[in-house]
Amino acid sequence: MIEAAFHFPNGFLWGTATSSHQVEGDNRRNDWWAWEQQPGRILQGARSGLACDWWGGRWKEDLDRAAAGGQNAHRLSVEWSRIEPEPGRWDAHALDFYREILAGMRERGIEPMVTLHHFTNPLWLAEEGGWENEGVVSRFEAFTRKTVAALKDLATFWCTINEPNVYAYSAIASEAFPPGRKDLRAALKVMRHQILAHAASYHAIHELQPGARAGIVIHYRGMTPHSANPLDGMVAGMQSRIFNDLIAQALVDGRLRFPVGRGRVPQAAGTQDYIGLNYYSCDHVSFDPLRPGELFARRFYPRGADLSEVGWNANMPEGMARAIRWANSFGVPIYITENGIEDEADHIRPRYLVQHLHQVWKAANIGVPVRGYFHWSLVDNFEWERGWTQRFGLWAVDPETQERAERPSARLYAEICKENGITSGMVRRYAPEVFSVLFPG
């Protein structure tokens, strides 16, 4: 019988990731809360409501679960609308709340990674025009300064903006997120503002905390032309350049490479101490003349893909290797800041987890500087426009009763974190269907 193990480098960070609006509950002063009240915006008319009730204190029991499961890191976000409920008015109680959570993490041996913007905006900011108004840059810098000054003795890792590419696409180009715009030009303008806001935030963080590690978090999706038709190749390349590359490259050399037009943002050059990589799946891309608003591209999963229960995600672990190669081209350490799958029954998650981690291990094993992995997510939480229809948690949550239930993947992940690696025994017990893939004998 094969007995083998893939061990990760010493000091590897093992964690889970969450975001404020998705777990805290009762976030009444942001644009998502208002959006949820509008009919037709969220699947099944769902609302975040109490979410996972972290604001009510349940973060303690959930972080106990994380710590007991061997996790030594956690990525969370702070809620701008709580910290600055009105322009220029800072809420000391909210900052104290985050201080308490971060201190609670440290007591549990959990290294915090703090995201400053994870999709939600204070209502007042949305009313000012949100990310389409260049004023967001100085607003975000001021928010960064206040937050970092208040929390810097408790946190070293900062993510300025989570998935700016997803935000620009979903909020401004596809009507899925508030403000529900569908205007590609405006989305590109928003990307420029995100780059400027990241740069201002990055410099402010380092001014306040010279030893900080600050970066941005990009959702990377490998884009494969569906056929040898040159038009498929052209649109796949265009999608990848805008969705994957545009922001991350600007943070290296301060250059904007829009599909039409170029620009310079010199203050953004060299503003990544690390890159945060969110990887879920890859897309096939074909040319579609009926989709001018999506630059003539149709994105889909290839036939026969190993799909999640609702087909939102496909298990494509080779895409993780591709994502890491992409991230490594920026020449800075890499953290996998999100990776996971929606799977209420936990049928596919165990194999998704070990197969993706195997790819992370392969990269680390040949010296690629991958320094940590944060599974999305610790607990089921409010999944944006998909409401409660998608369950990403290692732990199931019933939002009505707030009861938690451990999924087998939580036990598997705990074994991995404690071992600092994946063993043949784990794969045999939790994901036997992929044993011969990981341990070809």
Closest separation in Å from C-beta 7 to ligand IFM: 28
Looking at the Cβ atoms of 267 and 389, the one nearer to ligand IFM is 389
Whole-number minimum distance, CB 342 to ligand IFM, in Å? Answer: 7
Cβ at position 382, least distance to ligand IFM in Å? 8
**213-220 and 157-162 as β-strands: parallel, antiparallel, unpaired?**
parallel
Query: Which residue is it, tokens 């991958």?
Result: 370
The contacts found for 416-421 with CB under 8 angstroms, 24 or more apart, are 416/14, 416/70, 416/353, 416/354, 416/357, 417/14, 417/69, 417/70, 417/71, 417/72, 418/70, 419/5, 419/7, 420/7, 420/8, 420/10, 420/12, 420/14, 421/5, 421/6, 421/7, 421/8, 421/361
Distance CA 108, CA 260 (A): 50
Q: Identify whether the C-beta of residue 135 lies closer than 8 Å to the C-beta of residue 192.
A: no
Could you identify the residue written with the tokens 């699947």?
A: 43
338 binds ligand IFM (CB under 6 A): yes
Task: Name which of 124 and 279 has its Cβ closer to ligand IFM.
Answer: 279
Residue in 12, 16, 19, 117 binding ligand IFM, rule: CB under 6 A = 19
Among 8, 376, 395, 439, binds ligand IFM (CB under 6 A): 376
Q: By C-beta, is 35 or 296 nearer to ligand IFM?
A: 35
252-281 positions binding ligand IFM, by CB under 6 A: 278
Binding mask 187-226 for ligand IFM (x = CB under 6 A): ----------------------------------------
193 versus 219: smaller Cβ distance to ligand IFM: 219
Closer of 373 and 376 to ligand IFM (Cβ):
376
Q: What character string, x for contact with ligand IFM (CB under 6 A) and - otherwise, covers 143-172?
A: --------------------x---------
Closest distance of CB 195 from ligand IFM, Å: 19
Known catalytic membership, residue 338: yes
Contacts of 117 (CB under 8 A, 6+ apart): 77, 80, 140, 160, 161, 162, 197
Closer to ligand IFM by Cβ: residue 22 or 201: 22
What are φ and ψ of residue 307, in 5° steps?
Answer: -85, 150
- Tell me how far apart the alpha carbons of residues 64 and 68 are, in angstroms, rounded to a whole number: 6
Shortest distance (Å) from residue 321 CB to ligand IFM: 20
Using alpha carbons only, what angle is made at residue 363 by residues 357 and 366, rounded to the nearest 5 degrees? 140
Per annotation, catalytic residue among 338, 342, 383, 415 = 338
Nearest Cα residue to 227 out of 319, 317, 302, 326: 302
Instruction: Please give the residues from 386 up to 415 whose contact with ligand IFM meets the rule CB under 6 A.
Output: 392
For ligand IFM, the closer of residues 278 and 286 by Cβ is 278
Alpha-carbon span 145 to 217, nearest angstrom: 19
Q: What are the Cα distances from residue 197, in Å, to 203, 262, 340, 368?
A: 10, 19, 28, 29
Structure tokens at 177: 């997120």
Question: Residues touching ligand IFM: how many (CB under 6 A)?
Answer: 8
State the pairing for strand pair 111-117/157-162: parallel
Q: How far is the CB of 22 from ligand IFM (least distance, A)?
A: 6
Which member of 141, 383, 385, 415 binds ligand IFM (CB under 6 A)?
383
Smallest distance from ligand IFM to CB 182, Å: 20
User: Residue numbers of the site for ligand IFM (CB under 6 A)?
Assistant: 19, 22, 163, 278, 338, 376, 383, 392
Active site members: 338
